[in-house]
Amino acid sequence: MVSSQPKYELVQEVGRGSYGVVYEAVVKSTGARVAVKKIRCHSPENVELALREFWALSSIQSQHPNVIHLEECVLQRDRLAQRMSHGSSSPLYLELVETSLKGEVMFDPCCAYYLWFVMDFCDGGDMNAYLLSRKPSRKTNTSFMLQLGSALAFLHRNQIIHRDLKPDNILISQGRTPAGCPEPTLKVADFGLSKVCSSSGPNAEEPAGVNKCFLSTACGTDFYMAPEVWEGHYTAKADIFALGVIIWAMVERITFVDAETQKELLGSYVQQGTDIVPLGEALLENPKMELLIPARKKSMNSHMKQLIRDMLSANPQERPDAVELELRLVRIACRELDWDTWSQIVGGRCGCGTVIKMSNHHSPTICGNEKLPDGQIKMTSTLVSELSQQGKHRCVGHPHWFLSTTRVLVQSTTRVLVHNRKQTLSDTCEAVPR
């Protein structure tokens, strides 16, 4: 359907990148705030980046609270616009696909072509600016680690390799818990370099499948690129490395100044004389190099230290996959934080749940009609057992592998905690006998 009547009213420009401009906008019919990214399709390179982002976001069948959501994509030619869908037979869409594949403009160069992405509006800037403008906070660090681990597990389960994870590409949506506490929500964004891997086999939804998809195009941002990306032969484990760089830098507030923009950025690196070298590049030259972790703190949680080392291993086979990473992050957080801090981190995030049955005399079991990927029930049961053995009568974790809004709540003295009830954490705890 082609229309000349715009559905959105642009309010102000909020960001500008190498291939697009982002605006705050309002939906005329509802008044809702959205972000609109305008991409000019004047070159094959711009078209390819735009289509990669469109294909990645439109391939996701469900939403995740920590992944930017694509509401719709609109293709504009001069003053006419039409909604674009993946696999469309529209001549305008096919011209863009052909342009991307052939590397030359296959549409009328006299016409002005634009792609408009309508997405979540994030009012807190990016992760880099958010963290560096505030004092270090263990609670914030823990919350961000859990959200990032959850988002990456979701993307890899959906066969998406991001390939450009960095703090600048992680947006912040500012909100508050029902108790009025600040609750920043991360949104992984900027999928212009992403790759959607083909799904095949009986376990196509397993994150392990995406780790068998080998890519050869060296792309990303150098300070977050894994050693194998520099070589041009890598899998989704490169995303794990990038997240390791981010988490290490966040925990210790390690920064560097970008030579081109002179902007201070979060990122870990290796110091060689007066030069700073990206970790991936340094590990490519010397795979046996031992990283100094912690680099600035006097001490660091031993489990956190080992996890960062594993994520930054020069050998991608030695890195955890996204599911194991998420589980280990939850374990670390549960060991470190008390119930009150957990409540502040995940309060108000509980959505449709999965029944967890357990007692003091039996192993926990996962129930419900959700179809879980192979291996996840065992992992979750292991986590539940560990929590109960620690003597924490009320513990919270939130691995994402159940559903996009699932949060796992555990109370060792309760047989059935919560099932498919949308409640805040505090409401849930009050409703369950202690």
Of the residues 164, 168, 190, 321, only one is catalytic, namely 164
Q: Where is average pLDDT lowest: 188-192, 362-366, 367-371, 423-427?
A: 423-427
CA distances from 95 to 44, 100, 106, 227 (A): 11, 9, 6, 36
Q: pLDDT per residue over 384-405, tens digit each?
A: 555 555 544 333 343 333 332 2
> The whole model's pTM is what?
0.80
Instruction: Please tell us whether the domain made up of 2-119 is placed in CATH 3.50.50.60.
Output: no
pLDDT band per the 50, 70, 90 thresholds, residue 181: confident
- Asked whether residue 406 carries a pLDDT value surpassing 80, the answer given is no
pLDDT band per the 50, 70, 90 thresholds, residue 79: confident
Mean pLDDT (the chain, rounded): 79
Q: pLDDT per residue over 92-144, tens digit each?
A: 889 899 999 998 888 888 888 899 999 999 999 999 999 999 999 998 999 99
Note whether 2-119 and 127-328 share their fold: no
Distance CA 268, CA 296 (A): 11
Q: Which residues are annotated as a binding site for ATP?
A: 38
Domain ranges (residues) in the chain: 2-119, 127-328, 342-431
Distance CA 303, CA 430 (A): 32
The phi, psi pair for 307, rounded to 5°, reads -65, -45
Q: 127-328 belongs to which CATH class?
A: mainly alpha
Tell which wins on pLDDT, 370 or 112: 112
Mean pLDDT in residue range 70-95: 87
Q: Which of 153, 143, 154 is nearest to 186 (CA)?
A: 143
Burial of 291-329, coded b for 16+ CB within 10 Å and e otherwise, reads bebbbeeeebeeebbebbbbbbbbebeebbbbbbbbbbb
pLDDT band per the 50, 70, 90 thresholds, residue 155: very high
- Asked whether residue 376 carries a pLDDT value surpassing 80, the answer given is no
Is 164 known to be catalytic? Answer: yes
